[in-house]
Amino acid sequence: MPELPEVETVRQTLLPLLKNKVIVDVDIYWDNCVITKDFKHKITGQHIQDILRYGKYLVFVLDEDVMISHLRMEGKYYIHQPRKKAHHEHVVFHLNSDEYLTYHDTRKFGKFELISKSMYLEVPPLSLLGKEPKDSDSRSLYQKLTHKRIPIKMAFLDQHIIAGLGNIYVDETLYRAKIHPLKPCDKITQKEVVSLIKHATDVLEHATSLGGSTIRTYHAVHGVDGKFQNELKVHTKKDEPCERCQTPIIKIKVGGRGTYVCPTCQKQ
């Protein structure tokens, strides 16, 4: 699943290619991925003025609206000139440059929504997002966690609590902070929250600088592959020795998610 670094890589790649271009038509081949009624009618004729990112959401800033795009599990963008319809191609934006911005999604989980520019930060989904790690305050986050009994990994996957982290980067953050993913939130100390924010910020910034991680099937626009998968310390490293203590990494389930842990460095 694309996480913050992958989505930021897509944003940085798309922006110079799309800025100031006009959407002159839209083909929708999978209606369920479009939330807004009259999406095609409303978006046609609008310029792409900017592309922003909030957590894992891409926000295309248009003349009158913003288009919020969530890639979910395997959403990908490509730019074509010319174009032939491809398998799993669900939405095609025709541009005034005779190019096509195409959205592909094998799992069909991605969503598009148009919201007025004047209010998009005040309504869901963006109004419900927690802060990203780099913007988080340790006291506020500690207060959010201290009344919860769920495992810390599940809390850090909850975009309402902290935005941008997914399965890969939560594993990497917890490993670096030496915290077991099953530790209940109400047992987390304020000192540990400070450590979690620091390591989450460092992991996301480093991954972004390397273009994110490409694991299994996710690839960024134009087939750009992230290189952070070469920097992973624990995720996908089952049975490999921990680089700190040489104990074999184990794989467990936390909230149904495959989770990688060093049983020595991250004592339960």
Kindly report, residue by residue over 158-191, the tens digit of the pLDDT. 999 999 999 999 999 999 999 999 999 999 999 9
Verify whether residue 2 is a known catalytic residue.
Answer: yes
Residues 14 and 114 reside in one and the same domain: yes
Q: What is the extent of the structural domain holding 74?
A: 4-128
- Which residue among 21, 198, 257, 263 is the active-site one? 257
Question: 57 and 73 share a domain?
Answer: yes
pTM: predicted TM-score of the whole model, two decimal places: 0.89
CATH number, residue 197:
1.10.8.50
If asked whether residues 207 and 238 sit together in one domain, one would say: yes
My answer on whether 65 and 165 are in the same domain is no
- Whether 257 sits among the annotated catalytic residues: the reply is yes
Map tokens 């987390």 to a residue.
188
Which comes out higher in pLDDT, residue 40 or 213?
A: 40
> Does residue 266 fall inside a structural domain?
no
The end-to-end CA distance of the chain, in Å, is 27
Q: What share of the chain is helix, strand, coil (3-state, %, to 5)?
A: 30, 25, 45
Pair (48, 63) in one structural domain? yes
Q: Are residues 153 and 248 in the same domain?
A: yes
246 — pLDDT class (breaks 50, 70, 90): very high
Q: In terms of domains, do 143 and 117 share one?
A: no
Is residue 267 assigned to a domain?
A: no
The closest of 158, 160, 154, 90 to 125, measured between CA atoms, is: 160
Over residues 74-87, the mean pLDDT reads 80
Residues in a beta bridge with 95: 23
**Amino acid occupying residue 9:** T
E strands of the chain, at which residues?
Answer: 23-28, 50-54, 57-61, 65-70, 76-80, 89-95, 100-104, 111-116, 250-254, 257-261
Residues paired with 22 in a beta bridge: 47
| Residue 49's CATH number | 3.20.190.10
CA atoms within 13 A on the CB side of 165: 29
Residues 177, 240 within the same domain: yes
pLDDT, residue 262, reads 98
Residue 22 belongs to some domain of the structure: yes
Q: Which of 11, 56, 144, 237 is catalytic?
A: 56
The reply to whether 156 falls in a domain is yes
Q: Closest by alpha carbon to 208, among 8, 1, 2, 59?
A: 8
Rounded Cα gap, residues 90 and 85, in angstroms: 10
- Residue 83, in any domain of the structure: yes
137 lies in the same domain as 123: no
The residue annotated as part of the active site, out of 3, 8, 74, 113, is: 3
Total domain count, the chain: 2
Quick one: pLDDT at residue 217? 47
- The three-class DSSP label of residue 10 is helix
Q: How far apart are CA 91 and CA 184, in angstroms?
A: 42
Residues 124 and 18 in one domain: yes
Tokens representing 80? 């074509």
